[in-house]
Structure 1
Amino acid sequence: YREEKYAEIYEINMLRCIFCGLCEEACPKEAIYLTKSKKIVNSGYEREDFIYGKDKLVMPLEMAIKNTQTNTVN
């Protein structure tokens, strides 16, 4: 008998991220992926702005489908 365990709180601290892609490998649902975005993002000045919880990480399904279609074309 093996019980699956999930994190109670899921957060990504972008101040510690080195964009290595290990989170992509570890994700059991293949929900995390890095993109080659050429969009410039605004800088942030507060630490809390760089900690992404589930509320900031989840995107609408239509946007995710559009994102994967543009990534496979390039």
Structure 2
Amino acid sequence: MNKEEAIQYVKDKLADPMYYDYALLVNILIDHVSLEDTELREFAALLGTETYGCAKNDVVGLIDLMEKDDAKS
């Protein structure tokens, strides 16, 4: 799965009102965050931990940051 497919998969899951495992979605996305973007990787890693308590809006925010990062490239 490439980055665009991963983002679309996560967006599809976010649209499902019965889906609730947002930390899993973050862990899917983290593999596609640039290794050079250490701040975004740390943020995604924090969201993916169970201690933080990841919410739907956190995943949406991560996707927005990833897409903005792509637009810069």
TM-score (norm. length: structure 1): 0.34
Q: Which has the larger radius of gyration?
A: 1
Q: Which has the higher strand share?
A: 1
TM-score (normalised: structure 2): 0.35
